[in-house]
Amino acid sequence: MLTRFKADCLRILAGAMLAAIFLSAAPSQVGAASSDPVATPSVTARLLTVENGIAPGAGTLSAGLALDLAEGWKTYWRTPGEVGFPPEIDWSGSQNIASIDFQWPAPERFTAFGIENFGYHDEVVFPIRITLAEPGAPVRLSANVTLLTCSDICVPQEFSLSLDVPTGIGIDEASAARITAFADRVPVDASAAGITDISAYVDPAMSAVVVSLRGEAPFTAPDIFAELGPFTSLGRPDIRLGDGGHLLWARVPILSAPDSPLQDISVTVTDAGGRAVSAAPRSLSEPPEPPFAVATSGVDLAALVWIAVTAFLGGLILNAMPCVLPVLSIKLASAMRLGGDDRIAVRLGFLASAAGVMAFMWGLAAVLFVLREIGVTVGWGLQFQNPVFLSLMVLVLGVFAANLAGAFEIALPSRLQTRLANAGSAQGLSGDFAAGAFAAILATPCSAPFLGTAVAFALAGRGIDIAVVFTFLGLGLAAPYLVIAARPGLVRRLPKPGRWMSLLRAVLGLLLGGTALWLVWVMIGVAGPIATLASVAVTAVIVGVLSMRGVSGTARGATAAALAIVMLIVSGTLSDGLSSRGTIASETGGIAWLPFERAEIARRISTGEVVFVDVTADWCLTCKANKALVFDRDPVATALGRPRVAAMQADWTRPDEAISRYLEGFGRFGIPFNVVYGPGAPEGIVLPELLTADAVMDALDRAGTRELGRTE
């Protein structure tokens, strides 16, 4: 289908030929259809015009900005994507110009530095429709052009082009054909392209835009480019065709969204044969249904077994981590008090603890599966971003630590104790169950080094994958409890009860108290000092209430429960309005960490810099170990401070949607996460969770090895 611009070009050509016949006595002026070129290593630019001269009475001029790009180089569309900027032209030096209509041929999709971008390669001509201020008079075109060309690096270009078009008659057929060819690629509006019922839905979380439209002619190999305003980054779309190709449905991921409300949405659709259309879709309150569902491929059984083994071993190792060991130690201490004499009580107690571990793991798997199915970003350890959860854990650990320190004893009502005693082994099973659940809860911030692959596999897979991974993770964590339950006689090999148990109880109380203090420190970063201080104060009051003598246990328990509810409400309320910390710069260990900004990564790589990204959080113990053992020591500390090396830190202590989406782009759902970019590794080199200096230095060297001299 001819565009209006192409039709104008043909009319001009026909009119010029007729004028040449009737005005053959007047010599035409030729040679004005192209400016002198400006050439750089990446692009050669010139101005073109269809006409060699301005015919008498002519009120328009058909022109074009032609860019011939060197092999491997690209430039950008009007909406470039997350990085780059479109060509900008200053026409202020031109003469006899009333208005200029700069048109954009349909773009192509390409990936730069792991980010989707839209633009052109090889060559592009931007058609320009010029209205003359004085019809029939000579024209001077003066264009100051600014644009960006990118290959492995990006090079800004700035140059001037000028072209004088005198009065006269004549057509440059080569320029006319070239301009017309690209004018034919300029998208037409929906009605002209036979497109009907075009609509779009943007989900409230700003994670995707879903587009649906129908065409009179079927689509064959379409692509779609959504425009949501500046500072918006989009991913590769999921495009599905239905109704014999007449229905097009597409879901375009939003990788980063602007803070301000979205501007008017525009959608450009391209297809084979140069078909291109741009339209403003109507807004929908519900997402349009896709024409079909995409089947999820199965996972190889061997891979599933390997992941299950990895999850089991990771869960087993977690028992030795500092956030889990105190709970396990307390459980072993309770078994030592029995001395192994009551094998049934020992067995049931440890089975109850194992059940607590498994209950938490299965519950967490169910919650994550449901959240993932409804489109919520999920991750491992995210409960430590919740101030209410942290407040509850501070309370629980604080109360348990005070109990171990002898401030009070937790006991059931005497009548119930008598019944349980008569029932034998059933006494205390609820506490054993809770101990196992607490161990599993506290394990999550320690688990990344051992479980990153397994958890990522589960959260990215099917429901059965999630069930298998979290089941074996729980079995690994519950293994010590299951071993004692299977062989209660092992308790006999532990030291006999005595005074040393009081000392052990005090030590375990200190360990729990230390864990509680760590959670207080984490909560300061997540909820702020006011909410944290309120939680600590109420916890102290609850401990004081439980320690009161001469007051019935029922009264003390009811008062403590009421205060706990108040504390949870207060901690959630006082922490409201806290912003994400993901974009805050800092300086630690002599390293000047830049704030995390996804687009800034690509901009720095494009200028030849190496970028080291560290995704961390206050609640991530492995992150702290990496910092102390690797980042804060040479040679890594010196390397990250070198010129042309940018250290960028993303703080995930508080929820941050940009960081969550960034991690999800790598198939990761937990931290620590570290990746190195550079001219030699524009897509990034992902590092292991447990870092070593050698691994970091090797990645930095590999990322910076690409030769940069070709553009200089």
Highest mean pLDDT among 140-149, 253-262, 294-303, 654-663: 140-149
CA-closest candidate to residue 311, choices 171, 487, 453: 453
Phi and psi at residue 40, in whole multiples of 5°? -130, 170
Residue 698 has pLDDT above 70, yes or no: yes
Strand order in the sheet with 97-102: 38-39, 43-49, 60-69, 123-132, 97-102
- Predicted confidence at residue 712, as pLDDT, reads 33
In this structure, which amino acid lies at residue 586? S
Share of the chain above pLDDT 70, in %: 75
- pLDDT bucket at 224, cuts 50 / 70 / 90: very high
Within 13 A of 685's CA, how many CA atoms are on the CB side? 20
Within 13 A of 106's CA, how many CA atoms are on the CB side? 25
Highest mean pLDDT among 141-145, 249-253, 390-394: 141-145
Residue 505 has pLDDT above 70, yes or no: no
For 540-588, the pLDDT digits (tens) are 888 888 888 777 767 777 888 888 888 878 777 777 555 455 555 555 5
Residue 175 has pLDDT above 50, yes or no: yes
Highest mean pLDDT among 93-102, 204-213, 700-709: 93-102
- Predicted confidence at residue 375, as pLDDT, reads 57
Give the torsion through C-alpha atoms of 513, 517, 523, 529, to 10 deg: 130
For 603-655, the pLDDT digits (tens) are 788 778 899 999 988 877 778 888 888 998 889 999 998 888 999 999 888 77
β-strands 195-202, 282-283: how paired? parallel
Query: Residue 694 is encoded by which pair of tokens?
Result: 């050698």
- Predicted confidence at residue 675, as pLDDT, reads 94
Residue 491 has pLDDT above 70, yes or no: no
For 291-334, the pLDDT digits (tens) are 877 655 555 677 678 778 878 887 777 666 555 555 556 656 66
Query: Residue 94 is encoded by which pair of tokens?
Result: 């031109």
Residue 704 has pLDDT above 60, yes or no: yes
| Residue 439 or residue 338, greater confidence | 439
Highest mean pLDDT among 1-5, 62-66, 236-240, 596-600: 62-66
Residue 383 has pLDDT above 90, yes or no: no
Q: Are 649 and 620 spatial neighbours (Cβ–Cβ below 8 Å)?
A: no
Residue 425 has pLDDT above 60, yes or no: no
Angle of helix 463-486 versus helix 325-338 axis, rounded to 10: 30
Distance (Å, rounded) from C-alpha 692 to C-alpha 712?
35
Residue 510 has pLDDT above 60, yes or no: yes
Phi and psi at residue 439, in whole multiples of 5°? -60, -40
pTM of the model: 0.59
Instruction: List Cα–Cα distances, 46 to 129, 154, 177, in angstroms.
Output: 16, 21, 16
Residue 114 has pLDDT above 70, yes or no: no
Give 613's strand partners: 648, 675
Average pLDDT over residues 487-501: 63
Q: Which helix (H) or strand (E) holds 268?
A: strand 266-271
DSSP string, 104-119: ----EEEEETTEEEEE
CA-closest candidate to residue 148, choices 114, 178, 123, 119: 119
Write the DSSP symbol of residue 383. Answer: G
Which residue shows structure tokens 């073109």?
Answer: 48
- Predicted confidence at residue 636, as pLDDT, reads 92
- Predicted confidence at residue 479, as pLDDT, reads 86
| Residue 6 or residue 606, greater confidence | 606
Alpha helix ranges (H) inside 528-656: 529-546, 553-574, 598-606, 621-626, 636-640
Distance (Å, rounded) from C-alpha 668 to C-alpha 377?
11
Q: Which of 221-235, 263-277, 319-333 has the least mean pLDDT?
A: 319-333
Distance (Å, rounded) from C-alpha 369 to C-alpha 367?
5
Highest mean pLDDT among 12-26, 53-67, 233-247, 609-623: 53-67
Residue 5 has pLDDT above 60, yes or no: no
For 627-641, the pLDDT digits (tens) are 888 998 889 999 998
Distance (Å, rounded) from C-alpha 619 to C-alpha 443?
11
Average pLDDT value for the chain: 78
Angle of helix 553-574 versus helix 529-546 axis, rounded to 10: 180
Strand order in the sheet with 673-678: 586-588, 591-595, 645-651, 610-616, 673-678, 681-686
CA 266, 271, 274, 275 torsion: positive or negative?
Answer: negative
- Predicted confidence at residue 422, as pLDDT, reads 43
